[in-house]
Structure 1
Amino acid sequence: MGLKELILLQFIAHLCLDYFFQTDRLAKQKNTIGFKSSFLYWHALVCFVLAWLFSIQISFVFAAAIIAITHFLMDGFKHHLNNSKYFGRYAFFIDQAIHLIILVVVVVLFDKWQGINPSIDVSINFKYLLIITGYLVCLKPANIFIREVFKSTEIQVSSDNEMPNAGKVIGVLERILTLTFIIVSQYSAVGFLIAAKSILRYGNNETLKTEYVLIGTMLSFGIAVIAGIIINFF
């Protein structure tokens, strides 16, 4: 296992922590009251455990502690960023960018000073790890990213005809299919999928506004396409 594999493993740990191991309700509570949230302390503890576990080496314990402490501090002060007049709408993107920068810096410094020596002799294929990461990103993280894009650009639309969470499920399915088609180099199938969705969504006058659906669709497919291009590049 090398530097790029460790960085990717830590990124997967971050995805699990911030997207799969916390509900929207708990995340909102944490982002609203900061250090007063009891969940924040559990969140930091899980951050430490995941960072250490995904490093596959005992000596990473101090680096995992640094990742957890900085994550704890960032999330604790995030409600101030949310309430900022100028940066509040971009709080999600700023927060995630800082988390990832710190993660990469810590791993690079760990590799420089300590060296990467897994406690378990395991062979990790970077491309397979990248594929797993791509599919994880296309699940809940992509849904939240799209939601935050709408929020930051103040795009709002109401509808009484949409099934609860149906759009999220559709988005996940289309991203999984798109990513799979790109990985196996079936690009024509991606075009067919986009065309099929366009016919189904735009042909119904009771669905969301065309502009809203178009933005969501382009963001959704864009995430999957970019993930597929990165995977194929390596």
Structure 2
Amino acid sequence: MGLKELLLLQFIAHLCLDYFFQTGKLAKQKNTIGFKSLFLYWHALTCFALSWLFSLQFGFALAAAIIAITHFLTDGFKRHLISSKHFGRYAFFIDQAMHLAIIAIVVMLYSQWHGIHPSFDIAINFKYLLMITGYLVCLKPANIFIREIFKVTEIQVSSDNEMPNAGKVIGVLERILTVTFIIVSQYSAVGFLIAAKSILRYGNNETLKTEYVLIGTMLSFGIAVIAGIIINLF
């Protein structure tokens, strides 16, 4: 295992922590009351555990602790960022950028000072690891990313008479299929999928909703296509 594998494993740990191991309700509570949230402390402990576990080496404990502490502090002060007049709407992106930057810095410094010495004899194929990461990104993280894009651009359309969470499920399915088609070089199938999605139509009096769906679709396919291209580069 080398530096790029360790970086990718830590990124997967972060995805699990911030997107799959916390609900929207708990995340909102944490962002609202900051250090007063009991969940924030549990979140930090989980961060340490996942970071250490996904490093596959006992010597990474101190680095995992640094990642967990900085994650704790960043999330604790996030409520002040959210309440900021100028940067509040960008809080999600600033928060995630800080987390990823800290992970990258800690892993690279660890690699230089300590060296990467896995405690378990496990063969790791970087491309397969990248594929797992791509599929994980296309699940809940992509839905949240698209939602935050809408929030930043102040795009909002009522969802009357629609199935709850149906759009999220459709988005996940189309991204999974798109990434899969790109990995196996079936690019024509991606075009067919986009064409099939275009069957969705609204009445002339629902132009705003049509544009809302179009923007969401473009973002969704864009994320999947970029993930597929990155995977194929390796």
Shift in Å, 1:209: 1.1
Task: Map 1:127-166 onto structure 2 (within 5 A).
Answer: 127-166=127-166
Shift in Å, 1:205: 6.5
Shift in Å, 1:161: 1.9
The residue number in structure 1 matching 2:216 is: 216
Deviation digits for residues 80-118 of structure 1 (CA, Å, limit 9, x no counterpart) = 000000000000000000000000000000000000000
Deviation digits for residues 178-234 of structure 1 (CA, Å, limit 9, x no counterpart) = 0000000000100110110111x1256797711100100000000000000000011
TM-score normalized by the length of structure 2? 0.98
Q: Indicate conservation of the 8 Å contact 2:202/2:210, yes or no.
A: no
Deviation digits for residues 13-32 of structure 1 (CA, Å, limit 9, x no counterpart) = 00000000000000000011
Shift in Å, 1:159: 2.4
Quick check: 1:26 aligned with 2:26? Answer: yes
Whole-Å Cα distance in 2 between the matches of residues 90 and 203 of structure 1?
31
Whole-Å Cα distance in 2 between the matches of residues 226 and 110 of structure 1?
29
Structure 2: which 5+ runs fail to align? none
Whole-Å Cα distance in 1 between the matches of residues 183 and 43 of structure 2?
34
Task: Map 1:37-52 onto structure 2 (within 5 A).
Answer: 37-52=37-52
Task: Look up the equivalent residue of 2:80 and give its one-letter code.
Answer: H
Q: Which secondary structure state, in structure 2, belongs to the residue aligned with residue 202 of structure 1?
A: coil
The residue number in structure 1 matching 2:193 is: 193
Q: Indicate conservation of the 8 Å contact 1:161/1:206, yes or no.
A: no
The residue number in structure 1 matching 2:201 is: 202
Whole-Å Cα distance in 2 between the matches of residues 95 and 186 of structure 1?
36
CA 1:206–1:116 in structure 2 vs 1: closer, same or farther (change >3 Å)? Answer: farther
Whole-Å Cα distance in 2 between the matches of residues 204 and 197 of structure 1?
16
Task: Map 1:1-234 onto structure 2 (within 5 A).
Answer: 1-199=1-199, 201-202=200-201, 209-234=209-234
Identity over the aligned pairs, expressed in percent? 82
Whole-Å Cα distance in 2 between the matches of residues 123 and 179 of structure 1?
24
Deviation digits for residues 142-178 of structure 1 (CA, Å, limit 9, x no counterpart) = 0000000000111010021210000000000000000
Whole-Å Cα distance in 1 between the matches of residues 204 and 226 of structure 2?
31
TM-score normalized by the length of structure 1? 0.98
What is the aligned-residue RMSD (CA, Å)?
1.2
Whole-Å Cα distance in 2 between the matches of residues 168 and 136 of structure 1?
14
Whole-Å Cα distance in 2 between the matches of residues 206 and 178 of structure 1?
31
Structure 1: which 5+ runs fail to align? none
Q: Indicate conservation of the 8 Å contact 2:202/2:209, yes or no.
A: no
Deviation digits for residues 23-67 of structure 1 (CA, Å, limit 9, x no counterpart) = 000000001100000000000000000000000000000000000
